[in-house]
Amino acid sequence: MRSTHSGYTRLSKVHKMSAAGLGAAGAAAVVFAVVSGGPAAAQPVAVKPVAFDATAFTSDEQGRGELARQADGAAEQARTEAAAKVKSVADAKAARAKADAKAAKDAKAKADRQAKERAGKEAASRSTDRKPLKAAEAPAAAPKAYGNDLDGWINQALDIMRAKGIPGSYEGIKRNIMRESTGNPQAVNDWDVNAVNGVPSKGLLQIIDPTFKAFHVDGTSWDIYDPVANIVASCNYAAKTYGSMDNVNSAY
């Protein structure tokens, strides 16, 4: 590539070195002619020195240094931009994960709240639908003796159920007890889906704790293993769900 400087064409580094070499060779030829006594001794030839331009080398070195600095700067900028992009992607993923976790937590809280509200409404509805007991329907004031066995537990539960307006018969209750627990008031199911969920079925009629509490009948024990309380709460649940314990012929 040609460039101009101070009115003449700048020689490349190779051209200048060639010119310097030719000048030196010419000077040597003159010396040889003088010493040998040849024609050059009678007619000396004037050789014009060729000036060495150091600025060309300096300019080239500066250019290469500038290019190197520009390359280093571009590489550093590329690294900075790549790191920023990686951080941006990581921040976006973290933000999405945080948002998803919050949405899941909010959804669970909403579901729990709705379930609690439904349970409250159902309990209130059952209380409203039941016909209040009349004085004539109340159990006799005199205490009645019941045997501490399956027969006695069922009969005591039936008396309470009649007083509370809960349907069910001796045969229907006993049939379901024998299928669910074989008459063992301490029976616990540790293998079905309720057990897997942490709320195993318990007692004579294998009722789970949340259902027992929701359908517990006043005047009976709050102990789920109490045979009479277990029967009455289970029959209360069956009446609401199936019309009567008599209509239950399998797991309920």
Give exposure, 56-92, as e/b (b: 16+ Cβ within 10 Å).
Answer: beeeeeeeeeeeeeeeeeeeeeeeeeeeeeeeeeeee
pLDDT of residue 137: 59
Nearest of 110, 119, 107 to residue 210 by alpha carbon: 119
Q: Could you tell me where the DSSP H helices lie in the chain?
A: 13-36, 39-42, 54-129, 150-164, 170-180, 193-196, 209-214, 227-242
Predicted pLDDT at 48 = 52
Q: Give Cα 2 to chain centroid, integer Å.
A: 66
Q: Which domains does the chain have, with CATH numbers?
A: 4-79 (no CATH), 147-247 (1.10.530.10)
- Residue 84: pLDDT over 60: yes
How large is the average pLDDT for residues 197-224? 97
CA distance 139 to 153: 16
Please give the structure tokens belonging to residue 171.
Answer: 């045969």
Give the phi and the psi of residue 198 in degrees, each rounded to 5. Answer: 90, 10
Higher-pLDDT residue of 47 and 214 is: 214
Cβ–Cβ under 8 Å, residues 206 and 189:
yes
> Is 152 within 8 Å of 144 (Cβ atoms)?
no
Cα separation, 60 vs 66, in Å, equals 10
* Beta carbons within 8 Å of 192's beta carbon, 6+ residues apart: 200, 201
pLDDT value of residue 212? 98
Give pLDDT, residue 2: 43
- Report the C-alpha gap between 136 and 134 in whole angstroms: 5
Which has more pLDDT, 235 or 133?
235
Q: Which one has a higher pLDDT value, 76 or 39? A: 76
Q: What is the mean pLDDT of residues 94-100?
A: 87
Task: Give residue-wise pLDDT tens across range 14-64.
Answer: 444 444 444 444 444 443 344 444 444 445 545 455 454 555 545 667 778
Give the lowest-confidence range in 25-34, 60-69, 143-152. Answer: 25-34
What pLDDT digit, counting tens, does each position of 109-140 carry?
888 888 888 887 877 666 665 555 555 555 55
pLDDT for 222: 98
Q: Is-above-0.85 flag for pTM?
A: no
